[in-house]
């Protein structure tokens, strides 16, 4: 009986380790309150592809639709990294698809000094 428990425990731990390596942290859900503390909010002007990397040929995670919003995380050239508010996914969208969200409460107080030109 003890050897059976040991084998089952080992199999469960092995399975957990294998599955844990396949987990992509960019898909981990987060609370909107925590996301807002990271950067300013943006909305999409029109539907756009949310990419894995900051380039058009990179893999597409999902299609983000007009008026969906996300939190600015990073910028590389014309690409902006967003954490989408609806599901917490993190990906890259070309800046031409984005506009600042209109609510002041979505941007942290220390970000008010940065102009839109500095982001893009």
Per DSSP, which regions of the chain are E strands? 41-44, 48-51, 60-64, 69-76, 79-84, 90-94, 98-100
The secondary structure of the chain in percent helix, strand, coil, rounded to multiples of 5, reads: 35, 30, 35
- Which pLDDT tens digit goes with each residue over 14-32? 665 555 544 444 444 444 4
- With left for phi above 0 and alpha for psi between -120 and 50, is residue 105 left, alpha or beta? alpha
The answer to which of 44-53, 57-66, 105-114 has the lowest mean pLDDT is 105-114
- Which pLDDT tens digit goes with each residue over 33-50? 444 456 789 999 999 999
Sorted by where each starts, the structural domains of the chain and their CATH numbers stand as 29-119 (2.30.30.40)
**pLDDT tier, 109 (very low <50, low <70, confident <90, very high otherwise):** very low
Bridge partners of residue 68, in order along the sequence? none
Q: What is d(CA 38, CA 9) in angstroms, rounded to the nearest whole number?
A: 40
Furthest C-alpha separation in the chain: 68
Q: What is d(CA 120, CA 75) in angstroms, rounded to the nearest whole number?
A: 8
| pLDDT for the residue numbered 4 | 78
């Amino acid at each position: 009986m003890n050897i059976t428990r040991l084998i089952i425990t080992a199999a469960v731990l092995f399975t957990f380790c294998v599955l844990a390596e396949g987990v992509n942290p960019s898909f981990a859900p987060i609370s909107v309150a925590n996301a807002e503390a990271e950067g300013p909010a943006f909305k999409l002007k029109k539907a756009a592809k949310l990419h894995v990397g900051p380039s058009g040929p990179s893999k597409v995670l999902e299609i983000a639709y007009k008026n969906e919003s996300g939190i600015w995380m990073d910028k590389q050239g014309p690409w902006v990294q967003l954490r989408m508010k609806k599901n917490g996914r993190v990906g890259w969208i070309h800046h031409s698809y984005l506009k600042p969200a209109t609510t002041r409460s979505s941007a942290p107080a220390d970000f008010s000094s940065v102009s839109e030109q500095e982001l893009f």
